[in-house]
Structure 1
Amino acid sequence: MSAFFTVSSLDPADGGVPECVQCTCTYLAQVGVDVEIVTGRPNLDAPVLEPTHPDVTTSYATAPGHIQRHTKLWKTLSRRLDATRPDVVHDHGLWLPSNLISAVETHRRGVPHVVSPHGMLEPWAIQHRGWKKKAAWYGYQRSILERADVLHATAPMEAQNLRDFGLSAPIAVIPNGVPLPDTWKQEPSSENRRQALFLSRIHPKKGLPNLIEAWSRVQPDGWDLIIAGPDENDHRREVAAAVEEHGLGDVVSFPGPVRGEDKWALYRESDLFVLPTHSENFGVVVAEALASGIPALTTTGAPWRVLGEEDCGWWTEPKVDTIASALADAVSRSDEERLAMGQRGRGVVEERFSWAHVAEELRTVYEWIRGGRARPDCVHPSNNLDA
């Protein structure tokens, strides 16, 4: 079984898609899939998240300009498809020239095509820069999704949103995975102060102004709020202005992007994770927080109903009032209560969201597309998501 992954970029600053591609390809190789990634980058020194498995190869289309890079990406993909003839091409993201290139070259050769929208058809995401997306939808994106052999959703909520757009292709509902750190929080904090953590892109869809307003209402005594992650569209300046407006400069900090072991250490040092998002197809940072043994607070904009069902966090409406209410409850709990919630969350991630499980599910989908096995349970073939 061989698979091509197409993605616009593996730059870690581009959010969760590069990290998802990196991990998926690494674990697919471990379950016997031959994987090659075709992607672009602006120059040879540009940062990339490459898979860690030695058998995964990456073909780069390297050029400084946007148009030149995608022109080169088109030629690179065409050449590699002709050279290797993979069993399936798995494209990631929407709205970009790379997605059109992947679809055209794949369909031209009759290779099965899988598309992972990564939440880019969620209601909030569609409204953001809506006129551009409307033009792209009718120009090419709708046709790509209608012709796809399988659409990949990371949660039933995302799958339903795809159906609401009138898309009838089979949908594979497979969550994103999360690496399980060897060490996680197993003792209450010993410091006098407690720490709440937001770790994601600093982007308007993440709902940070709502969090700042909620924090100012609750004013949790003895707590600090860390807002970590890369700035996008200069949104950090807007959030920082809200921090100053509410007089929270002494308790809110912005350490910037945090990766690798520093990221996992920051999770373990925290007592609560907060993602006040308007829209997520999955929200891998919630899974990472749980895997690190800390409870999580997020909104119904993310598919994390399990937080309430398994008593490992809070799942609330993406509004200031409801976020403030959940935050007040979270900071009022004892250290021991929050630790117990975090331990339950760790167990949830171990059971449901390991990358090994995700890779095995994807492999079965690829085999089904090629006619090598019966339809997997994760694939819903019609408009009925219960089918």
Structure 2
Amino acid sequence: MTVLFTVASLDPADGGVPECVQSTCSHLAGCGVNVEIVTGRSHPEASVLKPSHDNVNTTYATARSKTARLWTFWRTLSARIDRVQPDIIHDNGLWLPTNILSALAARRAGIPHVVTSHGMLEPWAVQHRGWKKKAAWYGYQRAILERADVLHATAPMEAQNLRDLGLWGPIAVIPNGVPLPDTWKQEPSSGERRQALFLSRIHPKKGLPNLIEAWSQVQPDGWDLIIAGPDENDHRWEVVAAVKEHGLGDVVSFPGPVRGEDKWALYRESDLFVLPTHSENFGVVVAEALASGIPALTTTGAPWSILEEEDCGWWVETTVEALETALSDAASRSDSERLAMGQRGRALVEEQFSWEHVAAELRAVYEWILGDVPRPDCVRFDD
């Protein structure tokens, strides 16, 4: 089986989609799927995430101007389809011209088309810059999704949001995978201070102003707050201004983007992970925190009710008041209580969110589309 993935970019600065595509493709190749990727690139030296498996071939549609990039993407994609004759085309993301080109290419070649929306149809995401997305929805995006052979959602909540938009075709509910670090937090923190960590894009949808307001109300004694991640749309300066306004400059820091082993070390050094988001289709950073052995606090904007079900964190409303209550509770717990919560979270990720499990589920969906196996349990029609 050959699956051709299309994605606008594999630049790590473009958020979680490039990293998700890179990991998905690597692990699909690990379970015997021939994987091709066609992606855009602004210039030959542009930073990209490269899949780690040898059985993944990446072709770059490289052009400096936006207009030339689209024409190059179409020619590159068409040529690659003609050459490798893929069984499935799997597109990633929404709202971009490359998504139109992927759908057109699949239809022209008569190849089944799978779309992963990556949370871009969550209610908050749809309302953000809403008039542009409304025009795109009725102009092309709804038609693409209605004609797709399967839509991929990463949680039941995201699948329901797709249904609420009138999309009634088959939806495969398969979570994002999470790499399991070899080392994780297994001892309580020492010293006098404790550390809460936010690690994600610094973007309006992440709810950081609410977190700063809640932190200023609780002001947990002996705690620091680290806000790590790349800035988007200069939102960092709004958050910095809120920190200064509340007099929190001594306890809140902004280390910027953190990747690789530095990222995993930062998780392990922390005592609590906080994602005060307005909207997530999955929230992979929550799973990464649990995999690192620390409890997580997030909102009902993310599909993580299991945090409370498994007693490995807090899942609260997207309000300042709810964040205040949860932060106060988390900070008042003993080091051993928080560590025990983190160990339960690690066990949960090992059981349900390994990349091997995700790749096997996706492969079963592809085989079902091609008529080779019965419908997998993860594929839903009208619920």
Query: TM above 0.5, one fold?
Result: yes
Deviation digits for residues 110-153 of structure 1, max 9, x if unmatched? 10000000000000000000011001001100000000000000
Partner SS state of residue 278, structure 1:
coil
Aligned to 1:357: 357
Matches within 5 A, 1:189-338: 189-338=189-338
Partner SS state of residue 51, structure 2:
coil
> Normalization by structure 1: what TM-score?
0.98
Range that drifts further, 43-52 or 239-248: 43-52
Supply the RMSD in Å over aligned alpha carbons: 0.5
Rounded Cα–Cα distance in structure 1 between residues aligned with 2:325 and 2:90: 41
The answer as to 2:132 corresponding to 1:104 is: no
Rounded Cα–Cα distance in structure 1 between residues aligned with 2:92 and 2:331: 38
C-alpha displacement at 1:325, in angstroms? 0.5
AA in 1 matched with 2:46: A
Rounded Cα–Cα distance in structure 2 between residues aligned with 1:84 and 1:116: 22
C-alpha displacement at 1:212, in angstroms? 0.2
Rounded Cα–Cα distance in structure 2 between residues aligned with 1:64 and 1:4: 24
Aligned to 1:367: 367
Aligned to 2:120: 120
Rounded Cα–Cα distance in structure 2 between residues aligned with 1:101 and 1:238: 36
C-alpha displacement at 1:241, in angstroms? 0.2
AA in 2 matched with 1:77: L
AA in 2 matched with 1:285: V
C-alpha displacement at 1:301, in angstroms? 0.3
C-alpha displacement at 1:64, in angstroms? 1.0
Partner SS state of residue 329, structure 2:
helix
Aligned to 1:183: 183
Matches within 5 A, 1:60-209: 60-209=60-209
Rounded Cα–Cα distance in structure 2 between residues aligned with 1:68 and 1:258: 32
C-alpha displacement at 1:191, in angstroms? 2.1
Deviation digits for residues 66-124 of structure 1, max 9, x if unmatched? 22112100110011011111010000000001100000011111100000000000000
Partner SS state of residue 178, structure 2:
coil
Instruction: Give the gaps of 5 or more residues in structure 1.
Output: none
Rounded Cα–Cα distance in structure 1 between residues aligned with 2:21 and 2:98: 15
C-alpha displacement at 1:168, in angstroms? 1.1
C-alpha displacement at 1:48, in angstroms? 0.6
> Normalization by structure 2: what TM-score?
0.99
Rounded Cα–Cα distance in structure 2 between residues aligned with 1:232 and 1:8: 18
Rounded Cα–Cα distance in structure 1 between residues aligned with 2:288 and 2:238: 27
Partner SS state of residue 8, structure 2:
strand
C-alpha displacement at 1:169, in angstroms? 1.1
Partner SS state of residue 225, structure 1:
strand
AA in 2 matched with 1:209: P
Rounded Cα–Cα distance in structure 1 between residues aligned with 2:97 and 2:81: 18
Rounded Cα–Cα distance in structure 1 between residues aligned with 2:333 and 2:41: 47
Aligned to 1:30: 30
AA in 1 matched with 2:213: E
Aligned to 1:342: 342
Rounded Cα–Cα distance in structure 1 between residues aligned with 2:67 and 2:318: 38
AA in 1 matched with 2:355: W
Rounded Cα–Cα distance in structure 2 between residues aligned with 1:81 and 1:234: 39
Rounded Cα–Cα distance in structure 1 between residues aligned with 2:194 and 2:66: 44
Rounded Cα–Cα distance in structure 2 between residues aligned with 1:337 and 1:71: 56
Deviation digits for residues 37-58 of structure 1, max 9, x if unmatched? 0000111111111100011010
AA in 2 matched with 1:236: R
Deviation digits for residues 242-298 of structure 1, max 9, x if unmatched? 000000000000000000000000000000000000000000000000000000000
Rounded Cα–Cα distance in structure 1 between residues aligned with 2:66 and 2:133: 18
C-alpha displacement at 1:176, in angstroms? 0.2
AA in 2 matched with 1:86: P
Deviation digits for residues 210-230 of structure 1, max 9, x if unmatched? 000000000001000000000
AA in 2 matched with 1:264: W
AA in 1 matched with 2:292: S
